[in-house]
Every structure is written in C-alpha cells, then in structure tokens.
C-alpha cells in the first residue's frame, strides 16, 4: 500500500486542482432549503481500514447526505432479510434520472434499483413494515448511521425534511404511482415522511468516510470489530453502488473513477476501496445528472494519481 504520508500530499494536490472548477455546476435548487447553500465549497476525507484519517478543505462542515442515505436504508433492509424485497425492487441500472417516472409506469411499478428515488421509497416502505412501535424505521436508520460513523452526535435537519415534504412533487407522484401498482403497503405520506427525513441526515466528510468503512471490510467495522452485515451482503451493496450509485451517470462514474460509490444531491459522494479505505468528498455544485461535479473529478484524480481502484 501507498506510503501513508503520500495520502495527505495527494489530497492537498487534488484540492489545488479542483478549486479551479468552482462555478461550472449548479447547486440543487428543487429543494428550497438547499438552494441557498454556498456553492464554492470543497472537502475530502479518507478513512483507512485501520481508522487513520486524512482530510482536506472544510472537512468539519456538515451537509445534507440526501441519496447517500439510501445505502444505509438498503443495509437495514438486507439485514431484515425480507425475501419479498427481491420482487419489489430490482437490481438493474435505470439509465434514467434519479427521479424519473416513465420507466416505473411501463415496468408495472417495480423500481429498477434501491438507489433511484422510487427504489429507496419502496425500501422505506419495507422498513416501516418490519419496524416496531418501540423503534421506528427512522430511529433504526439514525442508530445505524451513528454506529457506523462511531459518532452519536449525528442528526437530521428537520427544516430540510420539511422543505422537501412541501416541494417533493415528483417523489409524491412516484410513491402514489407505486401505491397504485400495489408496491407500497403503508400510508404514502408516512413513507414519504420517512424518506425525506433520512435524506435530511447531515454529516461531514470525516463522519461519512468513517461510516462506510464496514463496506471496505466485508461488512465488519474494522475499528470497532462490530458486524454490520454479512460479507455477502457487503458484496451486494458494493456491486449496486458500482452499477447504480450515480443513476444515469453510473457508467461514466465507474469508467472515470473505478470504484463503487454513492452520490447525493446535497453534493456528497462516498466511495469504497475494499480492503483499503472509504473516501468521502463534498462539493455542492452538481453536473447535469445531479452528481457533484467537483466531487466526481476529485475521486477520478484520486484513483488516477494513486493508481488504486478496484480494477
């Protein structure tokens, strides 16, 4: 493995290169509470399998993890080993935008994968069905995020969740369309409330890279030694991140970066190098596919400069 000191130098180099790209993307503005985020921000964090961290930029600033939360909810869903899930959501790339309705209509209300919005809404529905009154689906999510990041201070931003509940017209349409196909069991408003709340969890890149370490270590947190999921389930999640983690730009991300990764419209991306590390990056300006423009570039530079990828 690369000399550890070199990781910090690599991050510093990436920082200098990518900040020249400020102004080329657009902050997500369809969620009013996110529209006013300062666009010119960049931070990146690596957590190695032994827990050692390297950071650059505003690495202590939290942001809305948005669709990155779908990895945690899918982790919980796999853990509950709900067999019927396989019939409720597929595992194929969609080739369509994350909030598209068209495919869902002609494919009978079954979403292509758990990382597009429709798929994540089905996962939320399933988590509500398998939760108890003592511990609801959202509590379970927060518990998992805190456990994986080893940080009990992580919480969600209620005003972001509320803002999306008021303006999430496409998600409301997706949920209702799936309900009409009998692919949502619970009350649509309850499911959406859960979905918007999980998307509104806030983390910084240090917490985020730390929290994905279990996926770099076959499902076991390598620092706390706690088992989060089985190695076979970790393989499944990483495979889904590689093929579906960036929506209709998943192929481009895999081609450029060569790692399983998951993005969110808040501007975060997290990627995994099995056996080595997890990497989180944040920069809120998005490309036309709704993925962080500078974040993708930074990850491409990282794997190119270090020569480390899954291939």
For ligand GLN, give the closer residue by CB, 42 or 98.
98
For ligand GLN, give the closer residue by CB, 254 or 308.
254
Closest approach, Cβ 188 to ligand GLN, in A, equals 14
Give the helix/strand (H/E) hosting 55: strand 53-57
Residues in region 79-108 near ligand GLN by CB under 6 A: 98-99
Residue 64 tokens read as 């809305």
By CB under 6 A, residue 193 contacts ligand GLN: no
Please enumerate in sequence order all residues whose Cβ is within 8 A of that of 39, keeping only pairs 6 or more positions apart, or say none.
Answer: 22, 23, 25, 27, 284, 285
Q: What are phi and psi of 38, to 5 degrees?
A: -65, 120
Active-site residue, 195 included: yes
Q: Note whether 40 and 22 are within 8 A (CB).
A: yes
Among 284, 274, 279, 285, residue whose Cα is nearest residue 299: 279
For ligand GLN, give the closer residue by CB, 9 or 29.
29
Closest approach, Cβ 203 to ligand GLN, in A, equals 14
By CB under 6 A, residue 171 contacts ligand GLN: yes
Give the position of tokens 């399933």.
126
Active-site residue, 247 included: yes
Give the position of tokens 């939360």.
69
**Of 45, 100, 117, 194, the one binding ligand GLN by CB under 6 A:** 117
Catalytic residue, candidates 18, 45, 70, 272? 70
Catalytic residue, candidates 7, 74, 247, 282? 247
CA distances (Å), 42 to each of 24, 61, 80, in order?
Answer: 13, 10, 36
Active-site residue, 70 included: yes
Give the position of tokens 């076959």.
218
Residues in region 240-269 near ligand GLN by CB under 6 A: 264-265
By CB under 6 A, residue 66 contacts ligand GLN: yes
Catalytic residue, candidates 265, 270, 281, 308? 265
Query: How many chain residues are in contact with ligand GLN, going by CB under 6 A?
Result: 11
Please enumerate in sequence order all residues whose Cβ is within 8 A of that of 77, keeping only pairs 6 or more positions apart, or say none.
Answer: 85, 114, 123, 126, 127
Q: Which residues are catalytic?
A: 67, 70, 195, 247, 265
Binding residues for ligand GLN, per CB under 6 A?
A: 66-67, 98-99, 117, 164, 171, 199, 264-265, 290
């Amino acid at each position: 493995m690369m000399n550890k000191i070199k990781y910090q130098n690599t991050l510093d180099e990436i920082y200098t290169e990518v900040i020249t790209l400020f102004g080329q993307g657009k902050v997500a503005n369809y969620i009013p509470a996110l529209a006013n985020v300062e666009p010119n921000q960049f931070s990146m964090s690596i957590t190695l399998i032994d827990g050692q961290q390297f950071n650059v930029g505003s690495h202590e600033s939290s942001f809305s993890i948005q669709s990155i939360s779908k990895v945690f909810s899918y982790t919980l869903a796999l853990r509950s080993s709900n067999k019927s899930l396989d019939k409720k959501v597929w595992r194929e790339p969609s080739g369509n935008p994350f909030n598209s309705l068209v495919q869902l209509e002609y494919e009978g209300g079954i979403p292509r994968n758990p990382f597009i919005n429709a798929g994540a809404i089905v996962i939320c529905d399933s988590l509500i069905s398998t939760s108890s009154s003592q511990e609801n689906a959202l509590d379970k999510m927060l518990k998992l995020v805190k456990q994986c990041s080893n940080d009990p201070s992580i919480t969600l931003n209620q005003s972001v969740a509320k803002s999306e509940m008021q303006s999430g017209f496409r998600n409301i349409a997706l949920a209702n369309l799936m309900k009409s196909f009998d692919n949502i069991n619970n009350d649509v408003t309850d499911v959406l409330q859960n979905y918007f709340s999980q998307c509104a969890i806030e983390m910084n890149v240090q917490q985020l890279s730390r929290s994905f370490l279990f996926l770099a270590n076959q499902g076991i947190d390598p620092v706390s030694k706690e088992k989060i999921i089985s190695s076979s389930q970790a393989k499944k999640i990483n495979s889904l991140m590689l093929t579906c983690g960036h929506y209709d730009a998943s192929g481009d991300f895999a081609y450029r970066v060569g790692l399983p990764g998951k993005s969110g419209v808040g501007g975060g991306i997290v990627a995994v190098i099995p056996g080595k590390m997890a990497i989180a990056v944040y920069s809120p300006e998005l490309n036309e596919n709704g993925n962080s423009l500078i974040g993708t570039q930074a990850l491409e530079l990282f794997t190119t400069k270090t020569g480390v990828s899954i291939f």
